[in-house]
Amino acid sequence: MIEIIEDLRVAKRTILRRNQKPTDYPDHVLSGVERIFGDGTSPEEAVSRILSDVRDNGDNALRSWSKRIDGIVPDPFQVTQNDLSSGFDLVSAETVQAMKLALDRIRTFHRLQPVSGWETKELGGIMGQRMIPLARVGIYVPGGTASLASSLLMATIPAQVAGVQEIIVCTPPGKEGNQVSNVILSAAHMLGIEKVYQLGGAQAIAAMAYGTETVPRVDKIVGPGNLFVTLAKQQVFGQVGIDGLFGPTETVIVADDTANPEWVAADLLAQAEHDVLASAILITTSLQFAHLVKAAITDKIVALKRKKIVQQSLSNRGGIIIVPDVESAVSIADEYAPEHLCLYLDDADQWSNSVQNAGCLFIGKYSCEVMVDYVAGPNHILPTGGTARFSSPLNVLDFIKIMSVVTLDQKTSNLLIKPAAKIALAELLDAHALAALERKP
């Protein structure tokens, strides 16, 4: 169960220390890889083999790896238009209405992001930057027991707002047959996506990165996934763009004794149910409040469907940290740079200005993480593992490339010839200097 830590030094050595090495994989992951690929094969090597095979052998390799890893070969890979529309019809009206609300709010939020090209004559001639949408984007959507239709909304909508011409989706089929989750099909139908492929794991990333007879090559791949999806994105980066390398999800809640312990407990449980590597951490100034939260967690966890996952997550990576004051709590959270940072404080607005490092900042007791997960509007695809120090949430600019444009007039060109040539000669690049001096009047 979740532990209360009163010594900050202990917290920094344990739950606040991201000390997992990239090669520290759980035993079940390593045994699964060796079962399929042979003894001594690392996850990185396994992914590299899949990528190479798909690059060289296209659809045949997709069939082979889908059979070996997932146990089924989808036929066809692409979901038919009839299945897309029928999936929509099989989802409850209440769920469809909720997704429409989410879609509208997410689209409204991302349309407000400032994105525009510009020109200037201040430097002579006309110079500027053009904002050009990517031509084709691939979106990976996790499937299985947690079919994240919400991630499809979050990844697709900013791409559409940016003006991306074509969007394709890869998502694993169900174990019992060639059927993608109806909720995902419904979301794709609502978004107007026409190309959905029943492909998961590293082979899906390979298909989108290299292209096959069935799956078109994309310019950028976005969306969360498991370890093998992340390793595949890492290995294809440079041949195709990616949104980021996402690790286990994480939340830090900073709360004082004015917060509702039942609400805080529920928020920690919501985070912990993602997977056993999720981090759910509370930092508080009140030991009494900490005990109330722990008691509430103990009561609520009994009824959860993913109780075992939650228990393991809270035991291994969660915790409640006691600090002397709010300033210390906010400072520790900011240094940790979590994916989600919640300020449940009496004067949360005042302390929010002290936060510089978080994927998403939640200010006040009503601003709970689950709202952004689904319907609030901001994107829930966020930097993890402390990368909020230098990374941003998925946004419209992730789907736009910037092209600089230069139109020099003769007067400006004449002014720049000698300086350009001098710098070129200082770099021992006389052909560069010649190209400038040839234009000397």
Q: Tens of pLDDT along 179-194?
A: 788 899 999 999 999 9
What are φ and ψ of residue 340, in 5° steps? -120, 135
Q: Which of 19, 13, 246 is nearest to 140 (CA)?
A: 246
What is the arithmetic mean of pLDDT over 241-266? 95
* pLDDT tops 80 at residue 8: yes
**264 vs 145 pLDDT, higher one:** 264
Q: In sequence order, what are the residues at sequence separation of 6 or more whose Cβ sits closer than 8 angstroms to the Cβ of residue 349?
A: 363, 364
Q: Where are the domains of the chain?
A: 81-242, 248-389, 408-437
| Domain 248-389, classified CATH 3.40.630.70, yes or no | no
Percentage above 70 pLDDT, the chain: 96
Q: Tens of pLDDT along 108-128?
A: 999 999 999 999 999 999 999
E-strand ranges in 305-368 read: 319-322, 340-344, 360-363
**Mean pLDDT over each residue of the chain, to the nearest integer:** 92
Task: Tell me what pLDDT residue 19 has.
Answer: 62
Q: Are 369 and 343 in contact (CB under 8 A)?
A: no
Q: How many CB atoms lie within 10 A of CB 407?
A: 12
Task: Tell me what pLDDT residue 30 has.
Answer: 74
Task: Tell me what pLDDT residue 88 has.
Answer: 81
Catalytic residue IDs: 339-340
Q: In sequence order, what are the residues at sequence separation of 6 or more whose Cβ sits closer than 8 angstroms to the Cβ of residue 186?
A: 87, 88, 90, 91, 95, 96, 99, 149
What is the arithmetic mean of pLDDT over 380-385? 94
Helix %, strand %, coil % of the chain (to 5): 45, 15, 35
Give 365's pLDDT tier (boundaries 50, 70, 90).
Answer: very high
Cα distance between residue 243 and residue 221, in whole Å: 7
Q: Which CATH number fits domain 81-242: 3.30.390.30, 3.40.50.1980, 3.40.109.10, 3.40.50.720?
A: 3.40.50.1980
Q: Whole-model pTM?
A: 0.91
**For residue 416, what are its two tokens?**
């720049």
Least confident residue range of 24-38, 147-161, 328-342: 24-38
* pLDDT tops 60 at residue 20: no
Cα distance between residue 106 and residue 85, in whole Å: 22
